[in-house]
Structure 1
Amino acid sequence: MNTMITVSKEQVILAFQYRHAAQTFDTTKKISEDDFNYILETGRLSPSSIGLEPWKFVVVQNPELRSKLKKVSPGAQGQLDTASHFLIILAQTDVRYDSEYVLDQMKNVQNMPEEIVTYFSGVLKDVQEVRGLLGDERLLYEWSAKQTYIAMGNMMTAAALTGIDSCPIEGFDYAAVDQILEEEGLLQGGNLKASVMVAFGYRNEEPKRAKTRSNMDQIVSWS
């Protein structure tokens, strides 16, 4: 029997108010192994289309690898130098409805019977056809990459709920980062590509200005 653990709405809103995009982190403070595994677990448990989990999380702790990435990541200069943990989220590229990856996820991760695999791969084929994804490797990558942001958002929120800071990063040369990761043997022969980076740690200073957002009536409409 599943047990529902309730977090108050006030706690969640406070976490969102607390979170900000930290440009640098306190290098004297490290996230504990237990706390970072908790953050990774919220990414692992994140939703994805038909539960295909089209991502992989690469935790970059090696100083030499961080130095290589810094040269091609102008948006991560302070974070690569100071983050307790630096994460690159990779997107699966082999996500056609009939790909080896998709069929393996259905059969061996989700333990679907053969007839259910046939049904869901057919559903996925219809979805990918109507979206114009079939026959376009770039669009299939982007379909996966969009889903990686769900996992990243969940990890950042989970971190904020425990007082851990974070910063999402898109400011990097995607082709150069892929080349570096390929040389490290992390892209599974081209079946993975960099999607987004996110740094975690503890802030070394408070934000210089209060958080601002548009009013609710400016961004929400009901029909």
Structure 2
Amino acid sequence: MSSQISTPETVLQQLHWRYATKKFDSTKKIPNDIWNALEQSMVLAPSSFGLQPWKFIVVRNPEIRQQLLPHSWGQAQVVDASHLVVFTIKQDINGDDVERYLERMAEVQQVPVDNLQKFGAVVKGFIEKPPYPLNIDEWSIRQLYIALGQFMTSAAMLGIDTCPMEGLMPSKYDEVLGLAAQGYKTAVACPAGYRAADDHSAERPKVRFKTEDVVQYVD
């Protein structure tokens, strides 16, 4: 029986508190211990087969952030937030990526890599001959958004503001960050930090459809 770490009330309170922060306080920085937890929230994110087809680029250099600003529709969150995370996927994942994962699995679980080949064949089969029409990069992006969601929820639970941003030019981000040479490409970014006192978006009621309109039970 698992122990309850938080309470339903606390979870709902923080989810209501969270919003897409439009203006960050550039003078406030996320403490190292909190950031370390947020970093691990990305590392520990689940993915299909556990394959983790991603890399999280944390842009700390202010000059590079300024270079990204015009490729972000001029959204100041990119430069004002304490941290800027660029969520990227590994392009065209293939059997070599599966082998790399199997080697890591063998290392962590302390089993011979040969014992994992049956599982590896299943993963390779899905990637190389999927059971339905599949664009592998789009599949990887779907995995990446799981990590984004976990990062944002963890941030809310720790009192950290975030703003998921698709309003950017991925190819330009790739150029500025030199991602093509690494075999990765940008999907989405997420500034994180502390809301500015005069960000009036924080005061707006959260607009969601009624629960009964979006949740359906099948008994």
TM-score (norm 1): 0.86
Identity %: 35
Deviations 1:171-208 (A, max 9, x none): 111111112222xxx45x35211121001011113524
Q: Establish whether residue 168 from structure 1 lines up as the match of residue 167 from structure 2.
A: no
- d(CA) in 1 for partners of 2:100, 2:125: 19
Q: Which runs of 5+ in 1 are unaligned?
A: 134-138
Aligned-pair distance for 1:131? Answer: 3.1
Q: Secondary structure at the match of 2:75?
A: helix
- d(CA) in 1 for partners of 2:161, 2:45: 19
- Give the structure 2 partner of residue 136 of structure 1: none
- Give the structure 2 partner of residue 14 of structure 1: 13
Aligned ranges for residues 150-189 of structure 1 at < 5 Å?
Answer: 150-182=146-178, 186-187=179-180, 189=181
Aligned-pair distance for 1:5? Answer: 5.7
Q: Establish whether residue 202 from structure 1 lines up as the match of residue 194 from structure 2.
A: yes
- d(CA) in 2 for partners of 1:216, 1:173: 34
Q: Give the one of 209, 212, 217 matched to 1:217.
A: 212
Letter in 1 for 2:36: N
Q: Secondary structure at the match of 2:164?
A: strand
- Give the structure 1 partner of residue 28 of structure 2: 29
- Give the structure 1 partner of residue 124 of structure 2: 125
Deviations 1:6-63 (A, max 9, x none): 1111111111000000011011211111111111111111111111111111111111
Q: 1:59 to 1:71 in 2, by over 3 A?
A: same
More deviation in 148-157 or 118-127?
A: 118-127
Aligned-pair distance for 1:110? Answer: 4.6
Number of aligned residues? 210
Deviations 1:111-149 (A, max 9, x none): 35334432122222343311333xxxxx21211111111
Q: Secondary structure at the match of 1:210?
A: coil
- d(CA) in 2 for partners of 1:174, 1:126: 29
Tell me if structure 1 keeps the 8 A contact 2:106–2:112: no
- d(CA) in 2 for partners of 1:164, 1:109: 32
- d(CA) in 2 for partners of 1:50, 1:108: 13
Q: Secondary structure at the match of 2:119?
A: helix
Q: Secondary structure at the match of 1:23?
A: coil
The CA RMSD over aligned residues, in Å, is 2.0
Tell me if structure 1 keeps the 8 A contact 2:69–2:76: no
Aligned-pair distance for 1:101? Answer: 2.0
- d(CA) in 2 for partners of 1:56, 1:36: 17
- d(CA) in 2 for partners of 1:127, 1:168: 30
TM-score (norm 2): 0.88
Aligned ranges for residues 54-93 of structure 1 at < 5 Å?
Answer: 54-74=53-73, 77-93=75-91
Letter in 2 for 1:62: N
